[in-house]
Every structure is written in C-alpha cells, then in structure tokens.
Chains A and B, each alone.
Chain A
C-alpha cells in the first residue's frame, strides 16, 4: 500500500463487503432517518417573543392541553429533510419513464417567476385595482389555452385534472338540465384513467364501459351502439392510454352530438399533440388540461396540480364562477353567481378563490419560453422518443398492438415474460437497481401485465440509448431465464419491497409516543 508523507493511504485499499453491517446503521451517503417526533428535544427553529394574552377575547375557548409537537432547531430540521430528500428518485436525477404521468423537465425560471412578490405574495381578495397584473397573467394564459386547443372558452379554477373532469361534467349536467332533459349515463372506455368513472359517479351519473378493440383503439361501433336518449356524454382520452391516437374521433364526436350528448375529452395526454392538433377541430365539448403534465409545473411528490377546462360554445355559458371580464377600469373577477353577464349561467363554484395561480405563473412562463414553435417541437420530440424506444425494444419485449407508430408513450405487455417466472412487477423493480424509476405498470387495464413507457421530450439521445440498452439487456436475460436480478428486486434502493398487505390490514397512519402505543395494546 502506498502512503503519502502524512501516513495517509492513497490507494483504494481492499473492497468493503456490502454485507458487513455498519456501526451507525448508515451506509456512506445513505442515512437512515428517524421520524421528526423521535428527534424533537424541546429546541425551537424560530425566535418569537413570549407574549402573554388574557382570556378576555377568547370566548372561553383557550386550548386546555399541549399539542404534542416536537421542538428542533433550524440545523436539525434542515438535516432531517435533506436526508429524507435523498431517499427519493426525481426527474432531475434521472429518466422517469412513467407512462401517462409525463415526467418532463421542470425549468427553474418557472419557479423563480412564481416567487415574484407580485404573484407569490398577493392576496386573492385584495382590491382589483391592486391585482391587475395577476388578472392580466390569467387572461394571457387563457388565450394560450384556448388558442392551442381551438376552443372558445376556458374555466380556470379547477385545482387538478380530476377536479377539471368534475368541472366539465358539471357543465354538461347543467347544459342537459337547461334543455329540460334527464340524461344519466356516461360512456367510458375500459382503457380510461380511474378518475373518469370515479368523476362520473361523483357528479351523479352512471358509468357504462365501452370495450377496446384488439388493436388498442376504442370500439367506435360498440360506442355508437350504446348511444341513446339517456346518454349524457362520453369521456374519451385522446391520445388514449395505450399511447394511440383515436383516428375515428371526429366520427365518434359527430355521432355523440347527433344523439344529443356531449364529448368530454380527458386531456391528460395533450402533451403528445399540443401545437399540432386542436381538440376543438375534433368536436370536443370539454377537456381538462393538466398544467403539471403538458406545461411542466412540477409534480412535487404528488401535487399541487392545476386542471383548467376548455369548453365549446355549447358549454361555455355554464362555466363556474369566478369569471374574468374586462371593463372600462380594467380586468375584474365576477365572483357573484347572480351578477354574471347576460347569457352566462354558471353551474356553481369549484373552490374558494380563483384557482392555482402559482401553477398559472409557471405554465405561462413555460409557454412564453417555448413559444408556439417550441410547444410543437416538444410534442414531436416526445412522440419521436417514444417511437424510438418502441422500435428499439420490440424485438425483445412484446408490443401488443403491432408495428404501427405510437404517440408519446410506448406500451408493452408481459407476454415476453411468459414462462420465465418474472412478472411485470419484478421487471419494473429490477429497473430500480439499474438507477431508473419504473415505468407505469398494470395500466392500462386492457393489456395483460402492462408496461407503459413515456420518455418525454426532455431526454437526450444518449440518455435514451442508455435506457434502451438497460431494458434490452434485462428483457434478454429474463427471456433466457437468468432471473436472479429480478427475484426480490430492488436490492440496492433505500428500502427493499415493502409489505403493503400488512400496512392495509392493521393501518398505522400516525406516530404515537410509546406510552400511547402501549396503552392502546
């Protein structure tokens, strides 16, 4: 072993066996981290004066017992959350091929703009004269959304995609009621996102499933056969969840309209066609736009989202309050359902205030940065990258819908794993050991053991090639029944597979001090 002149070894030395337990329980950069409640020790992370207040104005409602919150200083709190963060996969750290979820790059300019005090520190009920720039921003975003979709109107307040679906269906419900009709049935393809049937039920409709054809497209003939005087709407995702564009969409829309029903389009996959296809040209009556997918507001570990809904002429009048209008004094929100302009018949209100402004700022920043040409290029690159993956893997993985091109996501089924003992779950978990987040698994439901890969436009060709090489090799090994990588994977993540059955059987949903736990037992 070579030494430097202080006696410190400079060569790498012997390998440290992975199986040796460390003294601390941590392993290099991988730290185990206790719950914040187990770390608290009566310190504080803020400096506030200890003001005493009398009972006089508390209505007899002063808190009688302690809350039970832990006390930590700022450095301890920071270290806790930094350590937690390091147990997470993230798009900034690697390719995140979750089909249907659209994990694209989140530009940091968007974050900076959303934090400008004029947006981030603005109260929703401040006088209109002090919020003109914010209202102008919403107006500009509305223009982008209606122009890109070719639709005349948009409701901005829905707080996420599913909330947008609800908004669209409530507009449809109001339009049907205004016609004096009673239509209760909504047709939903079996490949739809779970939110579609859930929203239809939530809005008081019954759900009627439409089968898919063997080629992955909705069965348009079966759909048309189900139309009738009690059908309120169809909910169709286009491009659909198999990653295919529904080419018969216009004929379907015409048949739906002829039957007196409405066409709700799930816009979750708008990112494949933004800047190339206008849903308004396809006969769509309502479509939500997931700003956190197509327009790249960050997913943030599961939210917040934003789900504005574009509306056709037939539905525009029923948009919920608030409505944004311009008058002689500038822009103004109409928040009163009884004081709307002539012709408007709002169905109600989706939420307090006027929507996810923080997400609006980020989305408009994204749009201005890309421009119409960049939005179009992003859609084309997303579709190109998905097809590149499909073309590069279809010799070893099984593509259920043949040789045709896909849109922004490539779908595989598990028939290539048949007889290997490896499941879709095993295959996906083995990707974790290779440094990748798994693709979407077991969705859509119309394909057995589905694996849905969406690379997005944010990956370089080198990144795609590396990903393809890893998946190709995994598939080749699985087919050769070299299954040791797959059994019980992942092996190298912060945790091995977790026992979800035990979690659901005896739910532990909060921390309790040991004394309380013992008392409960």
Chain B
C-alpha cells in the first residue's frame, strides 16, 4: 500500500523489540468476539491511484459544474472567480499539513495569517474585533445567538423572515433548547415590521442583509429599537462581497456580525467546507466563541503571535466554556485572507460594483419578459423574481435546457404558498451577456 512505509521485515523486527508474537497481541484488551475478520467488511480492497482517479472522475462527470453552464444560483453560496494564486498557496505543505498552532514557536505562519484575517474581518464588517473563524455562516449565527443569550441573560430570540431558512433552522435547533426562538413571517421583497416583536425578554434580533430574497435592509432603526429594550442586534451577511459596496453592519449599530465568507477565496464545494466570520464589539470580547489570535513578544522581544484568551475555550474550561467548538476553518480562512489581500481596497470595491451592475442588468432584462416580475427593488447581486407559474418545475425544465437558473424559493420555504412562484437569482462577475441571453431565451421557452 503506497501510503504505508513499514515493510513486512520492519514489522517483524519491531514486534521482536516489543516482545509480541504478532500484531493481534497488541490488541489484547479488545474482547476476542469484537475482533472482526477482514471478511466482515464488505468493501473493496486497495486500488492504485489511476483506478481511484477513474472512479472519482466518473462521479464528478455526472454533475453539472457551475462553470459549465449559464449559472445563477446564490441563496447563501456564490460563484466568484478565485485567482490562481490562492489555491496554489493554500496547497503549500506548511499550510495544508500543519496542525492548530498550539506550539507558536513553529507556527508563526498560521498565527500571523489568522491575525491578519481577524483584522480584515473587523475592517470589512466595521466591528472592533473578530475571531479566527467558525465553521460557516449558519453555525456562526447560532453561536451569535447563544452569545447574546449569555450577555443579556435573556432567552428570547427574534429571527427576521428574511434570514436564510437553513440559518433559521440551525439557530432554532440549538437556541431553542433553552430559550424561545420566534421567526417573523416571510415578506419577499420588502422589510417586515420586526421591531414590533422586540420586547423586554428579547436577547437578540437577527437580521440578514442583503436578505435571502436579495433585499438590502436598513439595520439602524432595528438596532436602535433593540438597544432601547436592552436587546442586541445580530447582523447576518451571506454574501461578503457586498461589504465592498454597502454600509457595513458595524456602522449601523450591530452588536455581533455573523457572516459566510465563502464568496472570498473559497469554491462552492457543494455546500462545504466554508468559513464563518464572527465579529463583535470590544466590550463583548470575553463572551466570544472560537479561537482568537493575539499579538505578543517572544523571549528576545521580537513580535510574534499566539492563540489567546483560551480560558473561554473547551480544552481549558470544559463544561464552562463559551462554546464546544474546537476547530476553526483554518485553510478556508487562509484562502479568504489571500484572496482579500490580492483584491485590496481597490479590487474589492470594484468587484462589488461589478456584481451590482451585473445583477441590475439581469434584472432589467428579465423584467422585460412576459410572465416575470422583479420582486426585489434594492439589492446587491441577488434578487427575486415572481413567475407566472411554480418556480421549481421551471428550474428543472431550464436545467434540461442547459441553464442553471437559480434557487426556487420553495426549496427553502416549502410550506409558504406565497413563495411557490418565486425564483432567487444571483449574478456575479463570472456571468457574461451570453449567460443572460441564454437564461432569457430559455425562460421564455418554458414560461
């Protein structure tokens, strides 16, 4: 087996040093009936690299990659162009095959990029501090709600109807254990009156902007209303490229920002791994979940970085930790930070404007089609249209015509009749005029 360096001779010599007759003698604590013979496992045997590559390639070929068709899916995961340097750099052995930087003397590479990442996230979101990442945007949102419950010592959570339904379900699953989670009704294309739901028992209100239908929300009045009742505003961002063009949540009074960072540096990967961004105000620092990297000096006075404030974390505090989280999204974090370094201020703001311009052009084009109504008026790179018939079969029919037209809202909200004819579409820098023409043509055929 090509990955196993020990030879049969090596094994014999090693067993002799140990003083064991055979390798099963080393498994002597395992009850005999529990030692399964190889035949107990109905699975294939070792294969060469070429055979395995053939098998996996066949499976991959049965999928339609986003880059292989006119493509308009968003709803929490976005297709962007990732510069070649990003994937090349994250595959360096020293990044790819290192562990969590618990030995800082020989992990300054990881620690310094985490420190840079934290700075980038704080700048983008307009917040004071950010952690070294969580699993993804949805779990970051759930962690934000639990953090707000700890800070306010209150149990009620109010979710906007515009919060991505998967995020809402993730929050309900964990925050619903000890508290009450209420979801505001869905109002595609307009902002609901969420302020009316905030009361003295409310720990936090969770609002996504742009929301799942693409609508840009004004967070300031919600923040003011929440603060007036002693509650916190959690702002959720699923498309972080939007922060290159839109006012950041930190400037609108958000107390915690939970975001999905996939759009920068990371591929679609059929849903994971992604990278959860988590930022907050300085005063809430010690209630944060996840890893934090801090600056310090070494014994010779040289600047260096370490994981810090770990007394919040499970490996020190065990059942009293702020979260059970152990890992972060290390390599996805690195991809994010490299891509953002390549973009810089000028690149990110240009990229964001291109995305908005593309989406506007697509919306105008689709609005001109009979049987199509654009529902979202203020949007970044994603908007919702209402069709003359149910959207899910339309999307399937378009897929057969070679166009991946977007996400039918009914896939996310299957029980909301008002969503049945809604289609959520994203346009990014990767879309061309030919893509738009193909979509318009196919849509006309199907409608």
User: Do residues A121 and B65 form an inter-chain contact, with CB atoms below 8 A?
Assistant: yes
Given the complex, which residues of B lie within 8 Å of A181, measured CB to CB? none
Given contacts A101-B99, A301-B99, A338-B415, contact A120 B89 (CB under 8 A): no
Question: Which of B222-258 touch A at CB < 8 Å?
Answer: 243-248, 251
Q: A122 contacts B270, CB within 8 Å?
A: yes
Asked if B15 is an interface residue, CB under 8 A from chain A, the answer is: yes
Query: In the complex, are the beta carbons of B45 and A81 less than 8 A apart?
Result: no
Would A127 and B319 be within 8 Å (CB), given that A132-B63, A298-B96, A299-B98 are in contact?
no
Q: Are A61 and B244 in contact (CB under 8 A)?
A: no
Q: Is the CB of B344 within 8 A of A438?
A: no
Stretch binding the partner chain, chosen from B46-54, B151-159, B433-441: B46-54
Are B343 and A509 in touch, CB under 8 angstroms?
A: no
1/0 per position for B323-341, CB-CB distance to A under 8 A? Answer: 1111111111110011011
Closest residue of chain B to A124, judged by CB? Answer: B271
A48 & B347 in contact (Cβ 8 Å cutoff): yes
The residue from A60, A86, A336, A383 contacting B94, defined by CB atoms under 8 A apart: A86
A372 is contacted by which of B3, B6, B43, B407 (Cβ under 8 Å)?
B43
CB interface residues, A 274-300, toward B, < 8 Å: 275-278, 281-282, 292, 298-300
Q: Which A131-162 residues have C-beta < 8 A from chain B?
A: 131-134, 136-137, 144, 147-148, 150, 159-162
Q: Which of A82, A107, A118, A147 is the one whose CB lies under 8 Å from B92?
A: A82
| Interface: B386 (CB within 8 A) | no
Does A247 lie within 8 Å of B270, measured CB to CB? Answer: no
Q: How far is the CA of A84 from the CA of B90 in the complex (A)?
A: 11
Give the top 3 A-B pairs by smallest Cβ distance, nearest first.
Answer: A118-B60, A353-B271, A133-B62
B46 touches A304 (CB 8 A): no
Interface centre among A88, A354, A371 (most CB of B within 10 A): A88
Q: Which residue of A lies closest to B299 (CB)?
A: A496
Q: Interface residues of B, CB < 8 Å — how many? A: 210
Shortest Cβ gap from A146 to chain B (Å): 11
With a CB–CB cut-off of 8 A, which chain B residues contact A52?
353
Report yes or no: B329 in contact with A303, Cβ–Cβ below 8 A.
yes
Would you list which residues of chain A between 69 and 122 have a CB under 8 Å from chain B? 69-72, 74, 77-78, 80-82, 84-93, 96, 98, 101, 103, 105-107, 109, 111-122
Given the known inter-chain contacts A68-B123, A361-B56, please indicate yes or no for A124 contacting B77, CB distance below 8 A. Answer: yes
Set of chain A residues within 8 Å of B79, measured between Cβ atoms: 121, 123
The residue of chain B having its C-beta at the shortest distance from the C-beta of A107 within the complex is: B3
Closest to B107 in A: A88
A299 contacts which of B64, B136, B330 (Cβ < 8 Å)?
Answer: B330
Q: From known contacts A305-B327, A509-B129, infer whether A58 and B5 are also in contact, taking CB-CB under 8 Å.
A: no
Q: Does B183 contact A (CB under 8 A)?
A: no
Contact A132 B267 (CB under 8 A): no
A-B pairs with beta carbons under 8 Å apart, 23 shown: A44-B346, A46-B83, A57-B379, A81-B338, A88-B107, A89-B106, A117-B65, A129-B396, A199-B324, A207-B318, A245-B30, A301-B98, A337-B169, A348-B170, A348-B173, A351-B139, A354-B272, A358-B269, A367-B43, A494-B106, A496-B105, A497-B298, A504-B311
CA distance A249 to B45 in the complex (A): 30
B196 sits at the interface (CB 8 A): no
- Chain A residues with CB under 8 Å of B123's CB are 67-69
Write out the residue numbers on chain A whose beta carbons fall within 8 Å of the beta carbon of B25. 405
Does A49 contact B330, Cβ atoms closer than 8 Å? no
CB distance from A407 to the nearest CB of B (A): 8
Identify the interface centre among A116, A443, A498: most chain B CB within 10 Å of its CB. A498
Q: Which interface class (under 10, 10 to 19, 20 to 34, 35 or more) fits A? A: 35 or more
Within 8 Å CB of B414, what residues of A? 336, 338-339
Interface 9-mer from A6-14, A219-227, A254-262, A386-394: A386-394
Report whether A159 and B115 are in contact in the complex, using a CB–CB cutoff of 8 Å: no
Task: Return A384 CB to nearest CB of chain B, in Å.
Answer: 6
Point out the residue from B26, B33, B75, B300 that lies within 8 Å of A281, measured CB to CB. Answer: B33
Contact A460 B6 (CB under 8 A): yes
Q: Which residues of B contact A402 (CB under 8 A)?
A: none
Q: Which of A29-37, A308-316, A416-424, A476-484 contacts B (4 or more CB under 8 A)?
A: A29-37
CB distance from A429 to the nearest CB of B (A): 7
- Decide if A48 touches B94 in the complex (CB within 8 Å): no
How many Å from the CB of B354 to the closest CB on chain A?
Answer: 5
Which A residues touch B345, using CB under 8 A? 66-71
Instruction: Tell me the minimal C-beta distance from A126 to chain B in angstroms.
Output: 6
Q: Tell me if B388 counts as interface (CB < 8 A to partner A).
A: no
Is A504 a contact of B97 with CB atoms below 8 Å? no
Residue from A199, A245, A498 in contact with B304 in the complex, judged by beta carbons closer than 8 Å: A498
Choose among A84, A249, A354 the residue with the greatest number of B CB atoms under 10 Å from its CB: A84
A-side contacts of B124, CB under 8 Å: 67
Q: How far apart are the CA atoms of A173 and B267 in the complex, in Å?
A: 35
Contact of A147 with B353 at beta-carbon distance under 8 Å, contacts A67-B345, A71-B344, A87-B107 already known: no
Known contacts A162-B314, A372-B41, A384-B23; is-contact A495 B99 (Cβ 8 Å): no
Our count of residue pairs bridging A and B at CB distance below 8 angstroms stands at 703
Q: Pick the contact of B356: A58, A66, A127, A207 (CB < 8 A).
A: A58
Which residues of B have CB within 8 Å of A278? 34, 36, 40
Closest Cβ of chain B to A86, distance in Å, is 6
**Contact between chains at A45 and B330 (CB < 8 Å):** no
Query: Within residues 200 to 236 of chain B, which ones have a CB less than 8 A from any CB in chain A?
Result: 209, 215-218
**8 Å CB interface, B8-32 against A:** 10-11, 13-15, 17-20, 23, 25-31
Q: Give complex CA distance A52, B379 in Å.
A: 16
Cβ-neighbour of A58 out of B19, B98, B245 (below 8 A): B245
B168 to chain A, nearest CB (A): 9
Say yes or no: is A65 at the interface (Cβ < 8 Å to chain B): yes
Determine if A301 and B105 form an interchain contact, defined as CB atoms under 8 angstroms apart.
no
| Alpha-carbon distance A392/B14, docked complex (angstroms) | 10
Q: Is B182 an interface residue (CB 8 A)?
A: no
Within 8 A of A (CB), among B108-154: 108-110, 112-113, 115-116, 118-120, 122-124, 129-130, 132-133, 135-139
Given A112-B53, A384-B11, decide whether A123 and B98 contact each other with a Cβ distance below 8 A.
no
- Interface readout for B301-320 with A: 1 if CB under 8 Å, 0 if not? 01011101111011111111
Q: Say whether A304 contacts B272, CB under 8 Å.
A: yes
- Check if A36 sits within 8 Å of B108, measured CB to CB: no
Q: Answer yes or no: A237 CB below 8 A from chain B CBs.
A: no
Q: Is the CB of B328 within 8 A of A303?
A: yes
In Å, the complex CA distance between A177 and B410 comes to 31
Whose C-beta in chain B lies nearest to the C-beta of A116? B60
Contact of B99 among A96, A304, A347 (CB under 8 A): A96
Tell me if A319 is interfacial: C-beta within 8 Å of chain B. no
B359 to chain A, nearest CB (A): 8
Residues B389-410 near A (CB distance < 8 A): 395-396, 399-400, 404, 407
A495 to B15, CA, bound (A): 39
Bound complex: CA of A282 vs CA of B64, how far in Å? 42
Is B429 part of the binding interface, using a Cβ–Cβ cutoff of 8 Å?
yes
- Flag if A374 contacts B342 (CB, 8 Å): no
List 10 other contacts, CB 8 Å, given A45-B344, A194-B317, A498-B304: A45-B85, A57-B363, A85-B95, A93-B93, A107-B3, A127-B396, A245-B29, A250-B34, A460-B5, A507-B285
Quick one: which of A301, A348, A354 contacts B331, CB cutoff 8 A?
A301
CB distance from B45 to the nearest CB of A (A): 4
Tell whether, in the assembled complex, residue B268 and residue A122 are in contact, meaning their CB atoms are under 8 Å apart. yes
Beyond A194-B316, A302-B101, is A369–B52 a contact (Cβ under 8 Å)?
yes
Q: Which residues of B contact A121 (CB under 8 A)?
A: 65-68, 79, 267-268
Instruction: Name the contact of A159 in the complex, choosing from B30, B139, B346 (C-beta under 8 A).
Output: B139
A15 in the interface (beta carbon within 8 A):
no
Q: Mark B59-90, 1 if CB is under 8 A from A, else 0.
A: 11111111110010101110100010101011
**B174 near A: Cβ within 8 Å?**
yes
Contact of B164 among A60, A129, A277, A352 (CB under 8 A): A352
Any B CB within 8 A of the CB of A470: no
Which among B30, B104, B300 has the greatest number of chain A C-beta atoms within 10 A? B30
Q: When the two chains form their complex, are residues B342 and A46 in contact, meaning their CB atoms are under 8 A apart?
A: yes
Whether the Cβ atoms of A61 and B216 lie closer than 8 Å is: yes
Residue A426 at the chain B interface, CB threshold 8 Å = no
